Amino acid sequence: MNPRFSALNLIQVRKKSTPIERPSRPSEIFGKNVFNKKMMKHYLSKEVYLELKRSIDQGDTIKREISGPVANAIKAWAMDLGATHFTHWFQPLTGLAAEKHDSFLELSDDEAIDKFSGNELVQQEPDASSFPNGGLRSTFEARGYTAWDCSSPVFIFENAYGKTLCIPTIFVSYTGESLDFKIPLLKSMHKLDQAATAVCQYFDPTVERVSPTLGAEQEYFLIDEAFFTLRPDLLLTGRTVFGAAPARGQQLDDHYFGSIPERVFAFMTELEHDAHKLGIPLKTRHNEVAPGQFECAPRFEEINVAIDHTQLLMDLIDRTAQKHNLRALLHEKPFARINGSGKHNNWSMSTDGGKNLLSPGTNPQENLMFLVFFTTVIKAVHEYADLLRASIGSAGNDHRLGANEAPPAIISAFIGSQLTKVLDDIIKPPRRTKKDAPNPYLKLGISKIPELFLDNTDRNRTSPFAFTGNKFEFRAVGSSANSARPMIILNTIVAQQLMDFKKQVDAKINRGRKQDAAILDVIKDYIKTSEAIRFEGDGYSDAWVKEAESRGLSNIKKTPHAMDAYLKEKAVKLFTDQEIFTESEIHARYEVFMDHYLNKVSIEADIIADLAMTSIIPAALTYQKSLIHTVKASKDIGLKRSAVGAQQELIEEIGELVGKTMNLNKKLTKARKKAESQPETGDQAKYYADEVIPFFDQIREQVDALEMLIPDDAWPLPKYREMLFVK
Ligand code: ADP
Ligand code: MG
């Protein structure tokens, strides 16, 4: 039997998963596997607890003196919960989390003891030679250090077979260069804190700290495992390289927010349960637009913890799906012509007093403060749009951006009609007739900015960067991305812009301008000079592409070209001024991302050639052969020409499609050779993007056409309709 049919049979008889045992209230298990402040208090002496809390709150590294007692407390807590191993958990530039497990077990005079020392808590030295480093270290100097980031809590990861104590760490080379996403993220948070706190001082001298916040909505697809294993392309690249469109796609629009299928519901319940235990505040779950597509989102948190949580969540989604005989696809575009998946990064800034700096206030002073942060973010996006574009670039996201269901590769900001009017009125106060009420901007002066009532329903799903009432939503981020990459850039550019803002305001104050007037001057300037980045219309339309061009906005469709922004003088100056990356770190990162891109696309090229030659063409030729027999036999028994003509045409059509596929495949191979002969990684990646990848779609066209001709029971790969609709 065709393995597809066996898969379909298997899915029909799958047993329902037994519901997990869980308390009715999530609060009963929330954070159960996290060494949170409550546990610290319980397991630590008062002095050590207070010192640790201080380090955490102030973002300091923990003092050596307390690392011993803290390690003992963590070990006691972890062993009470049944953990047997520990690992430093870090985020190398591969984009996945990395871990190396060590047992607590030690032998002392032949006696087995459980040991976990302060040193092991604070620092480790994993052999790091096989992590990407972009040439920062040669393999003989393979030492890398991981060190505890105590601002992110220690947690226990459990599965049916055991429990592991995980310590979130930074990953740094022997020579001090960052090899991960966490170090630059922490640095960017620190810079943003300094810059934003200084600006807050104009309004509220009690503000001591500002932290960026992030709530990331995660989209993903679920398909049955039986189909997944029959699709080598999904297995190796995360996306289907072939597949004809199903008769029914998403045109009925009946999936979005529709009722959740029971099997998926079971998966989601377990996912939520496990996430809650890990302290991930998962809050929403629903169907997405495409069939088989879903979304979940945790409540926002301080950005460093939020990013650790999104990384963990992706891992959990993957594992939990497998427990339910499902596979989660986190790729940005697993299915052509069907909506892709994003990870909307909702971002804002919050003071230590808990005030959201992007939330309009209730009085004029608060509103002025809001406008400062609001217009500064927009100005920063305008100034550094190309860097933001680069920060979301990946082989997967290139399929999604601009593909009619995702924001285009053009960066623009949507703010809604109300705020547009507010900004317009600030730079050009409306003229009033005698009958009008006095204009608040003119008459009452600058400190009397009116109360802002924001209507949250003003949404634009087509914008890559949208203001949604009290936060910006960076919607162009890809579903499989580590959010740190775009968030490092966002924090850094806003920090830079806030510093510039303060400089400009202070200069005016020094020249005798009143503070509020000086602030409003700069706001006005920012509104005017960043106007080009604001766009309220349909971001998916062709008209916008033209309009954006006339505004001078870039539209860089392919990642290898977008990545050039990292190396431009302006970016290097930004990164080095803000001390986020050194010049060699920038180049190393560029190399790593380009290399990663190249690896991804060359695996795709391999699998395309492989599947075409060893699965598709044989199926086509077998069918063709049987048709030839039929025609021959038909002629033998003297059938009329008109009775065999159609079959003959079919034979020819198949022959032509097979021929074209093979031809294109040869061209693909040739182009790949040429790409590989380019001297630099960057050039190779660009050559791939421009000259190799176009063959992917051309080959696909032939194969998808064959899928529509070849008998269903002879088609080797699970079809779109099966993967998307059968659960
Ligand atoms: P939607 O965009 O679907 O309307 P929500 O308004 O519920 O969704 O919010 C989406 C995400 O934005 C959630 O993760 C939420 O916690 C997050 N969010 C809300 N406020 C903030 C904030 N101040 N900073 C960062 N993220 C926030
Ligand atoms: Mg959203």
CATH number at residue 241: 3.30.590.10
Final residue belonging to a domain, choices 128, 158, 179: 179
Q: Is the pLDDT of residue 362 over 80?
A: no
Q: Could you tell me the two tokens for 456? A: 């949250």
Highest mean pLDDT among 60-74, 118-132, 581-595 belongs to 581-595
- Return the percentage of the chain with pLDDT > 70, whole number: 92
The mean-pLDDT minimum among 183-187, 472-476, 538-542, 680-684 falls in: 538-542
Same domain, 636 and 682: yes
Q: Is the pLDDT of residue 524 over 90?
A: yes
Q: What phi, psi does 472 have (nearest 5°)?
A: -100, 145
Final residue belonging to a domain, choices 289, 312, 341: 341
Among protein residues, the one with the nearest Cα to ligand 1's atom 4 is 468
Task: Note whether residue 16 is domain-resident.
Answer: no
Same domain, 490 and 573: yes
Same domain, 212 and 268: no
Ligand nearest to the CA of 474: 2
pLDDT tens track for 425-475: 888 876 666 555 544 443 334 544 555 555 555 677 888 999 998 999 999
Ligand nearest to the CA of 298: 1
What atom of ligand 1 comes closest to residue 299's alpha carbon?
16
Q: What phi, psi does 105 have (nearest 5°)?
A: -65, 130
| Among candidate residues 174, 211, 227, the one with its CA nearest the CA of residue 56 | 211
What atom of ligand 1 comes closest to residue 216's alpha carbon?
14
Q: Which 3 state secondary structure label does DSSP give 224?
A: strand
The mean-pLDDT minimum among 50-64, 374-388, 389-403, 638-652 falls in: 50-64
d(CA 376, ligand 1 centre) in Å: 20
Q: Specify the pairing of strand 85-90 against strand 162-173.
A: parallel
Among protein residues, the one with the nearest Cα to ligand 1's atom 14 is 215
Residue of 346, 358, 494 to test ligand 1 pocket, by largest number of atoms within 8 Å of CB: 346
Among protein residues, the one with the nearest Cα to ligand 1's atom 19 is 300
Confidence of residue 300 (pLDDT cuts 50, 70, 90): very high
Same domain, 569 and 675: no
CATH code for the domain in which residue 618 is found: 1.20.120.1560
Same domain, 536 and 664: no
d(CA 207, ligand 2 centre) in Å: 29
Final residue belonging to a domain, choices 281, 313, 341: 341
What atom of ligand 1 comes closest to residue 350's alpha carbon?
23
Confidence of residue 306 (pLDDT cuts 50, 70, 90): very high
Q: Tokens 């106007």 belong to which residue?
A: 531
Same domain, 212 and 222: no
Residue of 471, 475, 477, 491 to test ligand 1 pocket, by largest number of atoms within 8 Å of CB: 471
Ligand nearest to the CA of 310: 1
- Return the percentage of the chain with pLDDT > 90, whole number: 68
Ligand nearest to the CA of 475: 2
What atom of ligand 1 comes closest to residue 356's alpha carbon?
23
Task: Note whether residue 337 is domain-resident.
Answer: yes
What atom of ligand 1 comes closest to residue 217's alpha carbon?
14
Residues with CB under 6 A from ligand 1: 213-215, 217, 297-300, 346-348, 356, 468, 470-471
d(CA 565, ligand 2 centre) in Å: 27
CA distance from start to end of the chain: 21
Percentages helix, strand, coil for the chain (3-state, rounded to 5) are 50, 15, 35
Q: Which residues contact 109 (CB under 8 A, 6 or more apart)?
A: none
Mean pLDDT along residues 194-218 = 97
pLDDT at 255: 57
d(CA 299, ligand 1 centre) in Å: 7
Ligand nearest to the CA of 351: 1
Q: Which residues contact 718 (CB under 8 A, 6 or more apart)?
A: 4, 7, 227, 230, 231
What atom of ligand 1 comes closest to residue 300's alpha carbon?
16
| Among candidate residues 373, 712, 411, the one with its CA nearest the CA of residue 554 | 411
DSSP 352-371: TT--BTTS--SSHHHHHHHH
| Among candidate residues 521, 682, 514, 532, the one with its CA nearest the CA of residue 595 | 682
How many Cβ atoms from other residues are within 10 Å of residue 603's Cβ? 15
d(CA 285, ligand 1 centre) in Å: 13
Alpha helices in 230-328 (DSSP H): 232-237, 262-277, 303-323
Task: Note whether residue 322 is domain-resident.
Answer: yes
The mean-pLDDT minimum among 282-291, 325-334, 385-394 falls in: 282-291
Residues β-bridged to residue 474: 345, 465
Task: Note whether residue 682 is domain-resident.
Answer: yes
d(CA 98, ligand 2 centre) in Å: 29
pLDDT at 311: 95
Q: Specify the pairing of strand 210-224 against strand 343-351.
A: antiparallel
Confirm if 138 and 144 have CB atoms less than 8 A apart.
no
Confirm if 325 and 226 have CB atoms less than 8 A apart.
yes
CATH code for the domain in which residue 90 is found: 3.10.20.70
Q: Is the pLDDT of residue 85 over 80?
A: yes
Q: Could you tell me the two tokens for 581? A: 């990356």
Confidence of residue 101 (pLDDT cuts 50, 70, 90): confident
Ligand nearest to the CA of 471: 1
What atom of ligand 1 comes closest to residue 470's alpha carbon?
23
Alpha helices in 34-80 (DSSP H): 37-43, 46-58, 64-80
Q: Tokens 């620092």 belong to which residue?
A: 123
d(CA 686, ligand 1 centre) in Å: 36
d(CA 300, ligand 1 centre) in Å: 6
Ligand nearest to the CA of 285: 1
Domain count, the chain: 4
How many Cβ atoms from other residues are within 10 Å of residue 260's Cβ? 16
What atom of ligand 1 comes closest to residue 347's alpha carbon?
25
More confident residue, 549 or 134: 549
Task: Note whether residue 518 is domain-resident.
Answer: yes
d(CA 317, ligand 1 centre) in Å: 20
Same domain, 485 and 516: yes
What atom of ligand 1 comes closest to residue 215's alpha carbon?
14
Mean pLDDT along residues 544-569 = 94
Task: Note whether residue 3 is domain-resident.
Answer: no
What atom of ligand 1 comes closest to residue 284's alpha carbon?
7
Mean pLDDT along residues 362-382 = 91
Task: Note whether residue 427 is domain-resident.
Answer: yes
Q: Could you tell me the two tokens for 141? A: 């100097």
Same domain, 402 and 296: no
Same domain, 200 and 164: no
What atom of ligand 1 comes closest to residue 297's alpha carbon?
14
Ligand nearest to the CA of 359: 1
d(CA 461, ligand 1 centre) in Å: 14
d(CA 549, ligand 2 centre) in Å: 27
Same domain, 103 and 46: yes
- C-alpha span between 385 and 367 (Å, rounded): 26
d(CA 549, ligand 1 centre) in Å: 31
Residue of 296, 300, 356 to test ligand 1 pocket, by largest number of atoms within 8 Å of CB: 300
What atom of ligand 1 comes closest to residue 298's alpha carbon?
14
Same domain, 198 and 163: no
Expressed as residue numbers, the domain containing 301 is 218-341
Q: Tokens 């040669």 belong to which residue?
A: 138
Q: Is the pLDDT of residue 415 over 50?
A: yes
How many Cβ atoms from other residues are within 10 Å of residue 266's Cβ? 20
| Among candidate residues 500, 501, 478, 474, the one with its CA nearest the CA of residue 487 | 474
Mean pLDDT along residues 12-22 = 79
Q: Is the pLDDT of residue 608 over 80?
A: yes
* pLDDT mean across residues, the chain: 89
Confidence of residue 139 (pLDDT cuts 50, 70, 90): very low
- C-alpha span between 717 and 225 (Å, rounded): 14
Q: Specify the pairing of strand 326-329 against strand 210-224.
A: antiparallel
d(CA 515, ligand 2 centre) in Å: 36
Task: Note whether residue 13 is domain-resident.
Answer: no
Same domain, 277 and 228: yes
- Strands (E) in 375-502, as ranges, are 413-414, 465-467, 472-474
d(CA 213, ligand 1 centre) in Å: 10
pLDDT at 258: 57
d(CA 473, ligand 2 centre) in Å: 7
pLDDT at 104: 83
